[in-house]
Every structure is written in C-alpha cells, then in structure tokens.
Structure 1
Amino acid sequence: MPENEIHTIPLWPLLLYASIVVVLLAAILFLSYILGQHHRDRDTGKPYEGGIEQTGSARLRFSAQFYLVAMLFVIFDVEAVFIMLWALGFYELGWAGYVGAAIFIGQLVVVLIYEWGIGALDIGADANEILKVYKRKTMAKGLKG
C-alpha cells in the first residue's frame, strides 16, 4: 500500500441516517398534532393546567446552601465521568492506572467527609428539631383539649 494514499470515508451513510432521523421526527410531530386532543377549556391557557389559581410571585429565593449542594453534585458528577473513563481503559492502564484511580477515589472520599463535617450537606431541618416542634404541638393540643 503506497504511503501517500488517502483513504476517503463515504458520507452517504451519515447523510442517510440524518435524513431518516429528520423524517421520523417530522412524522412523529405531525401524527401528534393530527391525533392529539384539541380543546379550548377555560383553564387550558393557564400555566400547568392545574386548576389552582396562582398566588404570589414565581421568583423564589433559595438558600445559599442549595447552591452549594448543587455545585457539589456537579463536581461529583464530573468526577464520576472520569472514573467511568478509567474503567473503560482499565486493562490498558494496568496497575499504575489502578493506583491512580484509587488515589483519586480516596481524595473524593476525603472531600466528601470534609463537606459533611462542615455541614455543607445539611439543607433541611434537623430531625431532633422536627421532633421537638411536634412534641410541643401535641402537648399544646393536650392542654387545650
């Protein structure tokens, strides 16, 4: 085989696949429009069609703790991708890859324990606080009744 020979990959399979996807998508949307329900009830135009009147604003404030947990989720999710990629190349990486992945997972465990220790994962009320409030309410009802 000559060294300067250029191999060309035919594009027609990709174009055929893309056109099949577009045709199927158009067919599904068209059938959904034709076979779907068409009605104009009073509450159809309202958000969520729940029949519940809206009260207040849709702009809610979230605690900074919520964003911290969301960032932790994203970070650990990205690290899970790295671990999955390592698993794909497990045999090619050998023992060096295994030790590297073990160190990486160990660091993740240390960070998770640290975040748990500083209370970054405590976003709800403490169970003991909920129990105290419940006991107070039940005692107040017992005194009244």
Structure 2
Amino acid sequence: MSEIASGYLPILLFLVVGIVFAFIFVGAPILVSGLTGTAKPDSVKLSEYESGFPAFSDSRQRFDVRFYLVAILFIVFDLEAAFMFPWAVSLHWGGVEAWVSMMVFLGVLTLGLVYEWMSGALEWE
C-alpha cells in the first residue's frame, strides 16, 4: 500500500505548491490592498468606462447592438491572429497544403469583413 501512496506523492506536492502559489499571487495582493487601500469613489471613478453606458443603471435597459457587433468582430480577428502565429511557425512542416488551408481561412474572414463593411456595421453615428 505504501508503494501506491508514494506514487501519488508528486501529485500531492504539485497540488500543495499550486495552492501556495495561488495564495501568494492572488490572495496576498487582495489582502494587502484591503488593509492598506482606501475606497473613495468619486464621479470620475463611477463614470462610464468602455461601453459608454452608465455603470449603475437599470439592468433591463436596451443596449445598442452595434457595440456587441464590434466586440465580436474584434474577437474574430483576434482569433485570426492567434491562429496565424502557430501556422507561421510550423509552415515548413505543412507545405503547400498548410499554406492553401490558411489562405482559405483568411479568405473566408476577409469575405466576412467585406460583408460587414458593406452592410454598414462598422459605421458609428
């Protein structure tokens, strides 16, 4: 039985070290800022940040869908960049097939961008 338990010792050690690091990097700054910081909200801190909507308003308020459309477009093109880096690094292993598949991928995304542009989704009033 002790041979089986000794096999799980590295996993237990890994979990303990992970929990300790989680407390050091997440819990300790929260604890220190709570003890030393002051909460003094003013009009600048409570103003709108990125969305342009009031921070504390009715939760059933209607939102402009264009904000979310631009956010989704940003995510799509951010993922495009995330897919292109590993593809560019491993291009010499994939050969012509990898290049053609990425060009098809980029073509579909380009068609999507052209469609969004022509339909006026990127125009802001």
Q: Secondary structure at the match of 2:63?
A: coil
Structure showing greater Rg: 1
Query: Within 2, Cα distance between the matches of 1:94 and 1:86?
Result: 11
* Structure 1 residues 88 and 12, CA gap change in structure 2 (3 angstroms): farther
Q: Secondary structure at the match of 2:62?
A: coil
Q: Structure 2, unaligned stretches of length 5 or more?
A: 1-6, 48-53
Identity of aligned residues (%): 31
The answer to whether the aligner puts 1:90 opposite 2:91 as a matched pair is yes
Q: For residue 43 of structure 2, what is the amino acid of its counterpart?
A: G
Instruction: Describe the superposition over 1:28-62 as per-residue Cα deviations: whole angstroms up to 9, x where unpaired.
Output: 3332233333x7xxxx5xxx43289x99x724433
TM-score (norm 2): 0.60
| Aligned positions of 1:1-145 closer than 5 A | 10-12=10-12, 14-24=14-24, 25-37=26-38, 44=40, 48-50=41-43, 58-59=57-58, 60-124=61-125
TM-score (norm 1): 0.53
Quick check: 1:115–1:121 contact (8 Å CA) kept in 2? yes
Aligned CA RMSD, in angstroms, stands at 3.4
Query: How much does 1:118 deviate?
Result: 1.8
Query: Within 2, Cα distance between the matches of 1:64 and 1:28?
Result: 37
Q: Secondary structure at the match of 1:11?
A: helix
Query: How much does 1:116 deviate?
Result: 0.8
Q: Secondary structure at the match of 1:86?
A: helix
Query: How much does 1:96 deviate?
Result: 1.4
Aligned length: 107
* Structure 1 residues 90 and 20, CA gap change in structure 2 (3 angstroms): farther
